[in-house]
Amino acid sequence: MNILVTMSWIAVLGARNVGAVPPQEHPAVTTQMARKLVLERIDEIAQNGHCRQTFWKEKIDLNLLRFTVEQTRFYDVAGREGNLKFSAVVGKLASPDQTLRVLASEVEADAFVLGYYDANRYVRTRHVVLTHGYHEQPDPSDGRLRATTMEEKQNLLLHEILHIALGKDDDDLNSRALCPLRLLAFCQRSRTASATIEGSPASE
Ligand SMILES: [Zn+2]
């Protein structure tokens, strides 16, 4: 299985704030799609006893994850959102103030959380950038690009949500085995989801 690569993007801020981000009353299509996908995955986790326990042991509150999803915006660099500049998305000046597409081209990641340093404090924003790896992945057998599967997309989105909800970097997520593919190995998608309803034995 491919390991989807994720990371945070750290911008260098200018001295002044740009001001508030213009209110976007209607979430963009990418945000709606991503929220729907990851909320479906969280619901599946909640409905699977073993899975739910694994998250509980890791002290991950599924309701906090849901709340974080609703607060997070997603941007697809393959579309027009790729032309948005860091300052326009985050509401703070950056130097250089690059577009999301340029930022994505500078990192080897299938998705990343926009972040910046304010004084010496690292601020992780609630803006997630989806790069080309969100759509296509090299096939392990021959290296040719194939469409990213729905499960891979959901795991990738959930990984970014874990970064934001827990306020942790990859080192922490990996050291706690919270890399989504490892964590979710406990949470195999069941084709008979109705068999793993709330309250079912954890030994399933
Ligand atoms: Zn990560």
Amino acid at position 139, single letter: D
Q: Rounded to the nearest whole angstrom, what is the distance from the C-alpha of residue 199 to the centroid of ligand 1?
A: 31
Higher pLDDT, 47 or 25: 47
**If you measure from the C-alpha of residue 146 to the centroid of ligand 1, how many angstroms do you get, rounded to a whole number?**
22
- In this predicted structure, the answer to whether residue 108 has a pLDDT above a threshold of 90 is no
73 bridge partner residues: 127
pLDDT in tens, 64-86: 999 999 999 999 999 999 999 99
What pLDDT, on the 0 to 100 scale, is given for residue 181? 56
- Residue 8 has a pLDDT of 55
How remote is the CA of residue 179 from the centroid of ligand 1, in Å?
Answer: 7
Percent of the chain with pLDDT over 70: 73
pLDDT higher for 158 or 25?
A: 158
Q: How far is the CA of 168 from the centre of ligand 1 (A)?
A: 9
For the chain, the helix, strand and coil percentages under 3-state DSSP, each to the nearest 5: 45, 20, 35
CB 51 within 8 A of CB 45: yes
**Cβ density class 116-131: b for 16+ within 10 Å, e for less:** beeeeeeebbbbbbbb
Give the residue-averaged pLDDT of 20-31: 66
Token pair, residue 77, equals: 């660099």
Percent of the chain beyond pLDDT 90? Answer: 45
List pLDDT tens digits, range 27-56. 699 999 999 999 999 999 898 888 888 888
Q: At what angle do helices 62-71 and 150-166 cross, to 10 degrees?
A: 100
The full DSSP string for 8-25 is EEEEPEEEEE--SPPP-S
Instruction: Please write the tens of the pLDDT for every residue from 130-142.
Output: 999 999 988 888 9
In angstroms, what is the span from residue 160 Cα to ligand 1's centroid? 6
pLDDT of residue 26: 61
Separation of CA 165 and ligand 1 centre (Å): 12
DSSP assignment string, 53-109: HHHHHTT--HHHHHHHHHH-EEEETTSGGGG-BHHHHHSEEESS--BHHHHHHTS--
DSSP 125: E
CA dihedral 125, 131, 133, 134 (to 10 degrees): 70
190-201 pLDDT, tens digit each? 443 333 333 322
Predicted local distance difference test score (pLDDT) of residue 69:
98
- What's the gap in Å between 201 CA and the centre of ligand 1? 31
| Distance of CA 6 from the midpoint of ligand 1 (Å) | 4
3-class state of residue 176 by DSSP: coil
Q: What are the boundaries of each domain within the chain?
A: 3-19+26-198
**58 Cα to the center of ligand 1, angstroms:** 17
Query: How remote is the CA of residue 98 from the centroid of ligand 1, in Å?
Result: 21
